[in-house]
């Protein structure tokens, strides 16, 4: 396939879709499938067969539409008239909605408002195809412009120009580190080697995070196209997508997408009639959280135990099998094609001075509209929670928003108007992370939250360095004593010292950031820790504390040292 035939195929598919009387979009992502989308799909297909309507309408099993808590979601798009979206659709309701739509009769089931803030307040770049295409049909993707940016790059731009366009866009790594993508691309491009690699990190493991999974499930060709553009830019002919083992649907759709792209000459040898060769293979992880760290991920791809290695050298100089390797998060690659298609200035027009573009978040917890959202960088936390999210259910009171997973922190109510960008969150003692955002109400106990994330970290520690292997266990034990009422004030001091020690001496990001939730909650919710220790009470009513007499820490430093030694 060449650029001309790609454009022709896109036009043919667009014409075919325009000739249909009705298109029915069913959310067929993991959350909606779990809620019963498969049964809804079967009911719709049986009705079409009964009425022999195959040539008049089309059922499109799409990726995630967004409001995951409202699934299964069904959207009706007639050739003429307004489209309607229905939530929590049962198979019986789906048949009724489709039948009434065909016969142009009023539907009794109430539709979602067209101006629902959940959709209206978003700016979709990465998620622009979600809910619009069947991710398993490459024709749908091509009709929406898939691989047109790759064709433009291969036939009209040099590798240096591509790298500079990414640099000028201000795109930063969406995996949590926020490193400028264009700088990393140029480092790999300039590294002298006869072989280079491109790796997409899809091993998100943060509790409550599912952004990468949804992107890979809903629009796999956008990720593949971004990787191919990156391969051309840095001089690589081989790419790998590393997907965590708990994402079987994402892995299956990626495999289908890779094969479909290869059959059409969009991947493989002489891509789009050019001299550029690029192959992509899939690697499935075994569920180790530490493999989200780039050096551990590379060792896993090479068939070794997934453990981090010291840096430098960095992957840009020595990565897979000792060759220069470009590693970016899945969401980072999903931004590449839109940037190359519409330009760096267009992308940089979104967001803030230092945090450009948009960010995908998995909004969950105590919020009315939980689901997947994409918003411009710099939007306030208040707008996310109370406008897009619809506030807290049952009149609940906002207490905190947890960002960054086990490496992040909790943002209290007084900072609800903080802009959500890399720098602002870092100042508050949290991080952007891969995009998990958990809303908590007044029933959440912050020492208990810190204990939960510390337990996660100690379970996921690879054990290579002592500070992480032993330090996370000791921090967990101290938090456990605090939440069960057996701690003393000296334990709080020891906990803080231990947090600093683990931060400074751990080998990789897992250990370095494991203390973050503890230090962050100590900073903003210290009164809750003191209530557990001094009053043997849990303000949130979560912890069952033992009523043990309080032992106070001696006032003088010398006496405290002896006291701690005896302890």
pLDDT at 550 over 60: no
Average pLDDT for the chain? 92
pLDDT at 556 over 60: no
d(CA 192, CA 189): 8
- Domains of the chain plus CATH, in order, are 20-114 (3.40.30.10), 145-347 (3.40.50.11540), 350-441 (3.10.20.600), 446-566 (1.20.1440.230)
pLDDT at 546 over 80: no
Can you give the pLDDT at residue 561? 52
Query: What percentage of residues in the chain have a pLDDT greater than 90?
Result: 80
Can you give the pLDDT at residue 565? 53
H or E segment to which residue 200 belongs = strand 197-202
User: Quick check: 214 and 64 in contact, CB under 8 A?
Assistant: yes
Can you give the pLDDT at residue 126? 97
Contacts of 541 (CB under 8 A, 6+ apart): 443, 445
Query: What percentage of residues in the chain have a pLDDT greater than 70?
Result: 96
d(CA 2, CA 219): 22
Instruction: For Cα atoms 549, 550, 556, give the angle at the middle one, nearest 5 degrees.
Output: 145
pLDDT at 557 over 60: no
Can you give the pLDDT at residue 49? 87
pLDDT in tens, 49-90: 888 776 688 999 999 999 999 989 999 999 888 899 999 999
Residue 61 phi, psi (nearest 5): -85, 95
Query: Average pLDDT, stretch 454-468?
Result: 91
Can you give the pLDDT at residue 316? 95
Report field, pTM of the whole predicted structure over 0.75? yes
Least confident of 90-94, 456-460, 544-548: 544-548
| pLDDT confidence bin for 563, thresholds 50/70/90 | very low
Can you give the pLDDT at residue 52? 79
Contacts of 478 (CB under 8 A, 6+ apart): 487, 491, 494, 495, 498
d(CA 165, CA 323): 24
Which of 231, 193, 202 has the alpha carbon at shortest distance from 313? 193
Distance between first and last Cα of the chain: 73
Can you give the pLDDT at residue 55? 66
| pLDDT confidence bin for 567, thresholds 50/70/90 | very low
What is the number of other CB atoms lying within 10 angstroms of the CB of residue 404?
A: 28
pLDDT in tens, 161-187: 999 999 999 999 998 788 999 999 999
pLDDT at 259 over 60: yes
d(CA 428, CA 344): 30
Given the structure tokens 């979600």, which residue do they identify?
130
| Cβ-defined contacts of 528-532 (< 8 Å, 24+) | 528/445, 528/446, 528/447, 529/446, 529/447, 529/482, 529/492, 530/492, 532/447, 532/482, 532/483, 532/485, 532/487
pLDDT in tens, 299-323: 999 999 989 998 889 999 999 999 9
Produce one character per residue of 463-476: b if its CB has 16 or more CB atoms within 10 Å, e if not: ebbebbeebbebbb
Can you give the pLDDT at residue 405? 86
How is residue 147 annotated by DSSP?
A: T
Can you give the pLDDT at residue 80? 84
pLDDT in tens, 273-295: 999 999 999 999 988 888 989 99
Can you give the pLDDT at residue 54? 67
d(CA 177, CA 161): 25
pLDDT at 371 over 70: yes
Alpha-carbon dihedral sign for residues 153, 155, 157, 159: positive
């Amino acid at each position: 396939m060449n650029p001309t035939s790609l454009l022709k195929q896109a036009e043919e598919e667009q014409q075919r879709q325009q000739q249909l009387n009705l298109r029915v979009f069913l959310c067929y992502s993991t959350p909606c499938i779990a809620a019963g989308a498969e049964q809804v799909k079967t009911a719709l297909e049986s009705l079409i067969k009964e009425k022999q309507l195959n040539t008049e309408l089309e059922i499109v099993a799409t990726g995630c539409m967004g409001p995951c808590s409202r699934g299964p979601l069904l959207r009706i798009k007639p050739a003429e008239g307004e489209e309607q979206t229905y939530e929590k659709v049962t198979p019986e309701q789906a048949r009724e909605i489709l039948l009434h739509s065909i016969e142009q009769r009023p539907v009794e089931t109430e539709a979602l408002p067209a101006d629902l803030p959940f959709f209206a307040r978003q700016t979709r770049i990465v998620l622009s195809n979600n809910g619009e295409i069947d991710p398993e049909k490459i024709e749908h993707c091509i009709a929406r412009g898939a691989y047109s940016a790759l064709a433009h790059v291969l036939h009209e731009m040099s590798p240096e120009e591509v790298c500079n366009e990414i640099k000028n866009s201000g795109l930063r790594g969406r995996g949590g580190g926020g490193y400028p993508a264009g700088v990393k691309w140029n480092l790999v491009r300039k590294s002298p080697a006869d072989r280079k690699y491109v790796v997409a990190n899809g091993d998100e493991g943060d509790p409550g995070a599912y952004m990468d999974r949804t992107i890979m499930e809903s629009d796999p060709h956008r990720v593949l196209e971004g990787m191919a553009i990156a391969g051309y830019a840095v001089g690589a002919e081989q790419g790998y997508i590393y997907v965590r083992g708990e994402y079987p649907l994402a892995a299956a759709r990626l495999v289908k997408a890779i094969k479909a792209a290869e059959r059409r000459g969009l991947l493989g040898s002489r891509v789009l009639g050019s001299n550029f060769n690029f192959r992509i293979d899939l690697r499935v992880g075994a569920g180790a959280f530490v493999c989200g760290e780039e050096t551990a991920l590379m060792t896993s791809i090479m068939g070794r135990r997934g453990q981090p290695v010291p840096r430098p050298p960095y992957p840009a100089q020595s990565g897979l099998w000792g060759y220069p390797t470009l590693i970016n998060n899945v969401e980072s690659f999903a931004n590449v094609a839109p940037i190359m298609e519409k330009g760096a200035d267009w992308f940089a027009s979104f967001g803030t001075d230092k945090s450009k573009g948009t960010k995908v978040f998995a909004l969950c917890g105590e919020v009315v509209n939980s689901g997947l959202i994409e918003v411009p960088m710099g939007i306030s936390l208040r707008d996310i929670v109370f406008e897009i999210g619809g506030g807290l259910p049952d009149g609940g009171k906002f207490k905190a928003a947890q960002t960054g997973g086990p490496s992040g922190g909790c943002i209290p109510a007084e900072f609800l108007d903080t802009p959500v960008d890399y720098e602002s969150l870092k100042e508050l003692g949290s991080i952007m992370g891969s995009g998990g955002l958990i809303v908590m109400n007044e029933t959440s106990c912050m020492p208990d939250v810190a204990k939960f994330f510390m337990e996660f970290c100690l379970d996921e520690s690879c054990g290579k360095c002592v500070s992480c292997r032993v330090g996370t266990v000791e921090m967990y034990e101290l938090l456990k004593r605090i939440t069960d009422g057996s701690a003393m004030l000296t334990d709080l001091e020891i906990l803080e010292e231990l947090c600093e020690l683990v931060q400074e001496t751990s080998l990789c990001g897992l250990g370095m950031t494991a203390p973050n939730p503890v230090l962050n909650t100590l900073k903003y919710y210290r009164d809750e820790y003191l209530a557990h220790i001094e009053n043997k009470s849990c303000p949130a009513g979560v912890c069952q504390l033992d009523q043990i007499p309080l032992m106070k820490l001696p006032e003088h430093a010398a006496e405290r040292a002896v006291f701690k030694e005896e302890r």
